[in-house]
Structure 1
Amino acid sequence: MGGPVLALSCQRSIGVANPVRYLAATLLVLLLATSSASAQAQQDGERPPPAVVVQPIPVEEVANPEQFNGRVEAIETVDIRARVQGFLRAVDFTDGQSVKQGDTLFEIEPDEFQAAVASAQAQVARAEASRGSAERTLTRNRELFAQKTVSQSALDQAQAAFEIAVADVQVAQAALRTAMLNLSYTRITAPISGRIGKPAFTQGNLVGPESGVLARIVSLDPIRVAFSITEGFLVTLRQKAAQQIELDPSELDFSLRLANGTDYVQPGRLDYVENEVDPQTGTVTTRLTFPNPNRILMPGQFVTLNVREKNAPRLPVVPQSAVLQDREGRYVYLLNDDDTVSQRRIETGARVGAGWAVTKGLSGGEQVVVQGVQRLADGMKVQPSQQQAVGQ
């Protein structure tokens, strides 16, 4: 009988004393579960939007320049030589001096040539005297022949003597001109304006036609730059010609970059384009003329030639860091007024600095995301901050 009574007593104890404790434990468990669910919901649903950097899209002139390697050439180069033989009496210039056309460069001793001129002048006078005597003899013989006092043979001889005398005068005059010409060669002058180099002979040396080059003059202003058009650029020009698009040289801007990295300030002008393609290189030789008043350009110097259009189009330029690409092409993310981003498909053209020229899809002035683009999606909310545009 004791066992059932004890069991009943235990059941009553549990049913009366433990319900309060059980209820408290249950409420604590529910409270903890609710707090955990609320925290998880807040973490999942209220995550802060990503931070991005944006900048306005500038509109710039897109020239798309072509670069070529060029070499500076003198338009005119003259080697000075002696035409007559003699001793140098004077050298009338210094090394590297700028000379003008007609300036005296060398003087050869003229005494011998002056004597030759005097001798030739005497020969001319003698020949003219002989011609005068022959002319008078011919006149008398003609009168006597008319009177039939001399024969035809005598008249013919007088006529021949006169003609020989006339020829002798011409020979003497030619010898005089030669002697005077040789005398003029004793004073060697500059045939062109330019800069002269070092003289090969100094005063007192014997020079002549076999002595070689006495000095060299090169013209420096203006000066020429020669370069070769690449095959690809040549094809472009030919395609424009085939489409009846005439290439106007005045619409192109030619500029030089010097060996020290600086730009040459004087603009160039298209001078000559070779009419044949080099079969070994596939290029065409082209020459430009540049003013060179300060003698910065020197023959033999290597330069970089930039060729660009003067009236180049103005296009939006987007930074390279903002451009993404997938199978459909390139695109960017633009910032909207409500701090959301939208995807915009674009077509790009030439490279401009650290960016791309945009030919389709943008008009300029839009706010484009330049940092943080990898984690974006169309319509996503963002936290934007500004950055300066390319080139500013």
Structure 2
Amino acid sequence: MLENDGVYLGRVWRSDLDGPSIVTLREGRLVDITSRAAPTSRDIFELADPVAHVRSCEGEDIGGLDEILENSRDRTRAKAPYLLAPIDLQAVKACGVTFARSMIERVIEERAAGDASAAGEIRKMVGNIIGDNLRDLVPGSPEAMQVKKALVEAGLWSQYLEVGIGPDAEVFTKSQAMSSVGWGAEIGIHPVSSWNNPEPEVVLVVASDGTVKGATLGNDVNLRDVEGRSALLLGKAKDNNASSAIGPFIRLFDESFTIDDVRAAELDLLVEGEDGYRLEGRSSMKEISRDPLDLVAQTVGRHHQYPDGFVLYLGTLFAPIEDRDTPGGGFTHKVGDRVIISNPQLGRLENTVRLSTECAPWTFGTADLMRSLARRDLI
């Protein structure tokens, strides 16, 4: 599941401690390295050398990885540790429209006004005019501005094309600190949505000073019909109970894994429905329109600070258009879908789709974390 030479950081829920713990992976075993020096995921990434800390920190062996993965699928097992999202106090930010192909799909959503049945004809019309001309454009460049002019003249300009090829990236708040779910958890689709999809993405982990310290996998669950009705509904489309999945672990940047590996990452997606449906897809970071470090710089700086650091979804190339049920209806999730996002260097993130109203409610927040750590004499 994970490369042996990597330095990995995660979080688990320990029922015996009635709270979360920080863990690392050593020779197939999870070791609890929660300490007064760095009791949270946020604290570890604020250290001058988080890799050295994770490698050298003594800890408690709490079980084999396979065992804890099984616990994470079935969280009813008494006092068994299970995986949480590997972040805690960090802000959860996301970038949209960072790939040309998914940018075109956002335009289609807008033109269809959330009606999936209208998407096919609009896709054909837009494709005939745009073709592949956007793929090699540098956002904000003179060439991009010429394309913008042509699209305006063709009556096809859109706010999605503005952030796709204009100078400013789309950066939004995906969910609240402490609200993301981890490996094996249920992911939530708002019950008002009938056209939605997974978004497999690389997620960067960034310290408060803007330094990128590692990466993980994420599912930026998206409601295409809600956002398509109006971009002002982005919050409703993106931030719902269990709509942010991150994990299984953060791989820290070291001699074996760097930002260049992120730039070259290939993500595989598998969706398996209880009805026997199967969808495979891929998102290649090589096709991203903006460099990951440019997206970080547009998120943090003199204009905006994050004292607890943040994580940043980098956007996705994947936009499923294959019909699942009715011709022309495209893809949408069904309750019970199993979603697997994988990458050889970052592992595999697995979740099951439910309505957000049926997923476990988010009840453990920042105040609860502080009380748990104080109770355990960690702060």
TM-score range, shorter chain: under 0.3
TM-score, normalised via structure 2 length: 0.23
Kindly indicate which of the two structures has a greater share of residues assigned to helix: 1
Question: Highest relative contact order (Cα 8 Å, sep 6+), 1 or 2?
Answer: 1
